A and B are shown apart, each in its own frame.
Chain A
Amino acid sequence: MTKDDCKKVVLDIIADIAPDEDLSNVKPDVRLRDQLQLDSMDFLDIVMELRKRHGIEVPEADYLQLASLDSCAEYLTPKFNALAAKN
């Protein structure tokens, strides 16, 4: 999985949990909370959907890694690839 693939995975989840948001121009280097109407429960949704859909665990101590699309990609891409290698 590339980092761009990973960003697409995160955006697909956000599209479901924040269906009123326009996601066509999300800036990857800007905090998601600063450009979208997302609250703490929504971030828990992202964590839950990563777990449900992809088997990816994000420990609470790492939640800050989900701040922006870029930081999501940095943090999650190795996890996706490690999981793919294991399977």
Chain B
Amino acid sequence: MRPSAIITRLGPGAGWRPQIDGALAQVEELGFIEVIAESIGSGPLPPGIVAARERGLQVVPHGIGLSLGGAERPAPAGLAHLASVAERVGAPLVSEHIAFVRADGREAGHLLPVPRTHPALEILCENVAIAQAALPVPLALEHVAALVQWPGAEMDEATFVRELIERTGALLLLDLSNLYANGRNHGYDALEALERFPLERIAYVHVGGGVLRDGVYHDTHAHPVVPGVLHLVEELCAIADPPGVMLERDDDFPPPSELITELRAIADAVRWGGERRVRP
């Protein structure tokens, strides 16, 4: 196992997007924003991100294009870009996905799952180690929501993620919406699975909205957060003290009042869970 990274306390957070910059600027309680690393060019930082830093918010670059779960080793240019964004925003850490986004030169335009097998884990660990060597700050890894599952799984998702985190020393970006979606779509108890994730290695937590369509739950980040996901937030905070919990909203942006209400609902779930943890 590699040396463990120090975990930074982040507080309440939100995914920064230009469309909700104005709404986020109204939320005094925010401790951090997450920015999509690939959306940041080599020119000046977007004014909203500069303003957030001036407010004292921490900025966490979130990669979506390294394809750490791919058969190919992560591209040096992609790693250099993520490292550069991390340095330019003074990030305490960066995050990426346990997924592949391209194969044989073709782009999926989406995060696709990796087989939960020992050979796939071996390749993933090698790719993560390459990324860690190229990055100036700790790396957190996020498990993804996936409608399709590879056949021949040798372990469940929580076990796979724990193995990966233990072997690489990476931090965990726990996505409760992904966990909820996978539990619902693949017929397992998300709460039971939650307890077996490496909760002691959480860097921060994603909470996003979704929608049930034709009996399938889609983790869209374009709909309100459903009660089942907020329940997982409270249950997580009843057994662990995540350093940061953030809202992800990527599409169909609501008016500021609705967005702020969602942020408050997440903060309430964190507080209620925390109170149960402190006074069981």
A and B held together in a complex: no
Chain A residues near B (Cβ < 8 Å) = none
